[in-house]
Each structure stands twice: as C-alpha cells, then as structure tokens.
Amino acid sequence: MLRRLAADHKTSIVSAAIIVLFVLGAILAPVLTPYEYDSINLAERLAAPSAEHLFGTDEAGRDVLTRMLFGSRVSLVIGIVPSLLSVVVGTFVGMVAGFHGGKVDTVIMRVADVVMSFPTMLLAMVVMYTLGGGTEDVFLTLVLVGWAAVARVVRAETLKLKESEYVEAARIIGVRRARIILRHILPNCLPTIIVLFTLEIPSSMLTESSLSFLGMGIQPPNASWGLMVSAGRAFLYHAPWLCFAPCLAIMAIVLAFNYLGDGLRDVLDPHLQSQ
C-alpha cells in the first residue's frame, strides 16, 4: 500500500513527510532548541529573524521557533485526539442508526441535526465558557461538535451498503447482524471514514486555533499556534513574523492532512489497486 502511495501520489508523500516532520519537531522540541518556550528576555524584544532566532522573538523576547515547536504539540494532539474520538463515536452512532433504522435512526439523526444546525464556533465557545479552558475541555468541545457530521456520512453509507447484494448474500448464508456490520459494512465504509478522519484533523486544528485566537482555547503562557497569531496580531506591521510563522505552520499542516486524505482515499479503494 505504501509503495503504491509512493508511486502514484507524490503530493501525498510530500504531505506525509511534512506531517512526520511536524510530529518529530513536536516530540523533539526540547532537544531542538536551546531556549525555553516561556523564558522572557526583554533585551531582545521583537527581534527580527536572525541566525540566533530563526523566526525572531515576540514581545516578551521569547523565541518564536521554540514557541512554535512547543505549540505544535498542542496543535497536533488537538488535531488528532478529538478527531479520532469524533470519528469513532460518529462511526458507531452512524452505523447503528443506518443499520437499525426506525425510531433509533430518527432520534439519533435529529440529535445530530440539532448539533449541526448550531454554528460550530458559537457552540464551541459556549461549551468552553461553561467548562473552562483546559486541554480536555477543548477535546470534549471538538468531539461534541465533530461527531454529528461523521455520523451523518457513515449513516448514509451504511444505508447504501445495507441494501447491497453482498450484504443480502451474507444474510442468506446466515451471518449474524453484528458480524455483518463488522465484516462487511465497516470495511466498506473504511475509505470514507479515513478520509473523514484526515479532513477532521485540520478542522479540529483550525477550531482550536480560532478558539485560542479568541482567547478561549489554550491559555497563556502555554504556546499554541492560534494563541501566537492572536498575540502577534498587535505587532502585525513592525514584527510580521509573529503572525506569519504560526499562520504558515497552520496552513502547511492543514494542507498536508487534506492532501494525504485524498491520496489515502485513492489507495484504499481496492478497485484502483488492480489497475
């Protein structure tokens, strides 16, 4: 599978490389930089990018690159963990709704409609205000907002697959319901689910960044890309690197996940494998 990804999808490979680079950067952050993310050095306030400070320093003289490396930990974890949870919850709920049908389906999908009819940011802000500003609360918020879209797509897919002839064939053989869901419906939903997952990651990251930008996500002095953009906004004219560096990082990783999702979808389709 990886070999095929390499052969046909150069964009995916580049994307995967970018993601790996970011992950390595996050893990090795303390080793990669001589500075602390919260060590203040007022003598070097708002220094332009130089050999010592590759991306310059911020208004408190903290190294921007260091803060970005540490901030990527927050962004990656917030990108991946809630997305995974949303996809797992959404898939389960969507499959139950689609396969079971009837009242169960109606109740689940109406709840999903209610969740989806709220503007995402507004709902996220309400939850964050109510719960406070910890990382776990951001997780919870993102899952509360994210599961509904996944459930809707997975339900539609399940409804389609439920009527397919090979599911009927499995039924005639006598395969039990749980096994049909697990062995026939889930594997055939998987390409969709993986794409949803890779698309959910950047949207979680963006939501987190937006929340932090608005001061409702990660709290200072912890670093987060959204928070850094928010703080740098004040110095946009005389120290643009404060905003641009985290912005570019957000853009790069969001694009990387999107392209990887695209490539994975192609590779995971068994019909394309033979061609």
Partner 1 sequence: MAQRTLEVSHLHTSFFTERGEIKAVQDVSMHVDKGQVVGVVGESGCGKSTLGRMLIGALPPTSGEVRFKGHTITGLKERDFSAYRRQLQLIFQDPYASLDPRMKVRDLIAEPLVTHKVCASKDEVTQRVLGLMKAAGIPADYLNRYPHQFSGGQRQRIGIARAIALDPALIVCDEPVSALDVSVQNQILNLLRELQEERGLTYVFISHDLSVVRHISDRICVMFLGKVMEMGPTEDVFTEARHPYTRFLLDSVLPPNPHRRGQGMRLLEGEPPSPVNPPSGCCFRTRCPFATETCAGEEPNLRRMEPVEVACHHQR
Q: Binder to partner 1 among 171, 215, 240, 255 (CB under 8 A)? A: 171
Q: Binder to partner 1 among 66, 184, 204, 245 (CB under 8 A)? A: 184
Give the rounded distance of the alpha carbon of 56 from its chain centre.
Answer: 28
Near partner 1 in 105-164, by CB under 8 A:
164
Give me the residues paired with residue 63 across strands. Answer: 57
Q: Which is nearer to partner 1, 129 or 166 (CB)?
A: 166
Near partner 1 in 235-274, by CB under 8 A:
270-271, 273-274
Q: Binder to partner 1 among 110, 122, 166, 236 (CB under 8 A)? A: 166
Contact range with partner 1 by CB under 8 A, out of 52-60, 137-145, 176-184, 212-220: 176-184
Residues found in the chain: 275
Contact range with partner 1 by CB under 8 A, out of 33-41, 98-106, 167-175, 258-266: 167-175
Give the rounded distance of the alpha carbon of 32 from its chain centre.
Answer: 25
Token reading at 253: 């990783």
4 near partner 1 (CB under 8 A): no
Q: Which of 79, 86, 76 is nearest to 144 (CA)?
A: 86
* 269 Cβ contact list (under 8 Å, min separation 6): 191
Token reading at 236: 């946009």
Q: Which is nearer to partner 1, 123 or 268 (CB)?
A: 268
Q: Which is nearer to partner 1, 177 or 233 (CB)?
A: 177
188 near partner 1 (CB under 8 A): yes
Q: Which is nearer to partner 1, 110 or 177 (CB)?
A: 177
Unique residue bearing structure tokens 């608005």? 214
Q: Which is nearer to partner 1, 181 or 239 (CB)?
A: 181
Residue 29 and residue 73 in contact, taking contact as beta carbons nearer than 8 Å: yes
Unique residue bearing structure tokens 């169960």? 104
Token reading at 214: 């608005």
178 near partner 1 (CB under 8 A): no
Intra-chain end-to-end CA distance of the chain, in Å? 13
C-alpha distances in Å from residue 180, one per residue of 88, 99, 177, 188: 18, 10, 5, 11
Q: Which is nearer to partner 1, 179 or 233 (CB)?
A: 179
Return residues touching partner 1 (CB under 8 A): 164-166, 168-176, 179, 183-184, 187-188, 190, 270-271, 273-274
